[in-house]
Chains A and B, each alone.
Chain A
Amino acid sequence: MRLKILNSGYGFGTKVLFAFIHAVSRQPVPDAAKLVFYRPDFYGAPMKEFTHEAMRGPSAWSVGDRELMAAFVSKMNECEFCIGAHTATAVRAYHDKAKVSAVLSDLETASIEEPLRATLRMLRKLTREHAVNADDMRAVLAASVSREQIEDALAVCLAFNTTDRLADAFGFFVPGPKAFEAGAKFLLRRGYR
């Protein structure tokens, strides 16, 4: 990572925890974890609470749907680390690799439910163009997506529009598929807290 403090600025307790994570997962500690463990009172602790609520809290969207939204938003932001992490997690949550691949390669032709497609279209515009208008929202509502579902999807988008920027600004190392697989298992078992 571009800041030395994010590679080596940890106290004894955190170093022990990192050694434990490394031993259990047999993978290096992902840079996403290093970020939230550095001076956690500034950003990591409150952000983990919010992200957990958005990704695992009560919602009409399934965990798989929300992980797919996270992967999709990250794809729009061209954030390699988060695309890898959340594609692996969505595939694992859905038990359906083909569905996730289809959405990420072409949203319009992917075989998914229309409410999910309409929601992802709106997130695509918001993430690429940094804005959406009332007509964009009317199109999502017309696809039988509730106001609460739109708000839930916007919370996922908010979390990943933040995290994607930090991953690229700080220069997260992008590991191989085994590391993303281990990360996906962890995120489905424990969530983001």
Chain B
Amino acid sequence: MLTEDKKRTAYTAVVTRVLEGDGRASRAGRRAAFDNARLAEPLRTLIDKVAKHPTRVTNEDVAAVKASGESEDQIFELVICAAIGQATRQYETALDALALAMTGKKRSEHASEDPQ
């Protein structure tokens, strides 16, 4: 269990850093890219492709976001948040499925079953 904790701790550090640490993009913007939600065009198209169809990202998608006023450093951060966000959702879904298979309960249900 100790090694698994180390892995989870290292991953949590990645997510915490990109979402809550200092950056050129706003924290709200980074969170929106992570969630692939609450975004306006043309950023919405780029971020949705990163999350769902990364091989379809084009030079034009990136150029359009730059033309809308985002700097390269902001795009760097937002694309990273989008990739981590989608990978994290898939990971969490899989851990829930594993918990359900092992115990008959989702992970989120464990917290509420603790005796008073």
State which of A43, A78, A134, A155 has its C-beta within 8 Å of the C-beta of B100.
Answer: A134
Chain B facing A: main interface SS: helix
CB of A167, distance to nearest CB on chain B (Å): 8
Contact residues in B for A130 (Cβ distance below 8 Å) = 86, 89-90, 93
Q: In the complex, A138→B4 CA distance in Å?
A: 21
Contact B101 A154 (CB under 8 A): no
Q: From A151, which residue of chain B is reached at the shortest CB distance?
A: B4
Chain A facing B: main interface SS: helix
Q: In the complex, A65→B24 CA distance in Å?
A: 38
CB-contacts of B54-104 with A (<8 A): 54-55, 57, 59, 62, 72-73, 75-77, 79-80, 82-84, 86-91, 93-95, 97-98, 100-102
Task: Find the residue from B6, B14, B46, B86 having the highest chain A CB count within 10 A.
Answer: B14
Contact B3 A126 (CB under 8 A): no
Contact residues in A for B101 (Cβ distance below 8 Å) = 134-135, 137-138, 141
State which of B3, B51, B72 has its C-beta within 8 Å of the C-beta of A165.
Answer: B51
Contact B91 A137 (CB under 8 A): no
Contact residues in A for B46 (Cβ distance below 8 Å) = 169
Contact A164 B54 (CB under 8 A): yes
**A120 at interface by CB-CB < 8 Å:** no
Size band of the B side of the interface? 35 or more
Contact residues in A for B102 (Cβ distance below 8 Å) = 137, 141, 147
Q: From B101, which residue of chain A is reached at the shortest CB distance?
A: A137
Contact residues in A for B91 (Cβ distance below 8 Å) = 154, 157-158, 161
A53-61, A94-102, A178-186: which one contacts chain B? A53-61
Q: From B62, which residue of chain A is reached at the shortest CB distance?
A: A2
Contact residues in B for A4 (Cβ distance below 8 Å) = 72
Q: In the complex, A4→B87 CA distance in Å?
A: 25
Contact A161 B3 (CB under 8 A): no
CB-contacts of B5-27 with A (<8 A): 6-7, 10-11, 13-14, 17-18, 21, 23
Contact A127 B90 (CB under 8 A): yes
Q: From B73, which residue of chain A is reached at the shortest CB distance?
A: A5
Please encode chain A, from 68 to 110, with 1 for each CB lying within 8 Å of some chain B CB and 0 for all others: 0000000001110000000000000000000000000000000
Q: In the complex, A170→B76 CA distance in Å?
A: 8
Contact residues in B for A166 (Cβ distance below 8 Å) = 79-80, 83
- Nearest first, the 9 closest Cβ-Cβ pairs linking A and B are A161-B87, A165-B83, A137-B101, A168-B54, A50-B10, A134-B100, A162-B87, A134-B101, A165-B54
6 A/B residue pairs, CB under 8 Å, sorted by A: A42-B18, A50-B11, A133-B100, A158-B11, A166-B79, A169-B83
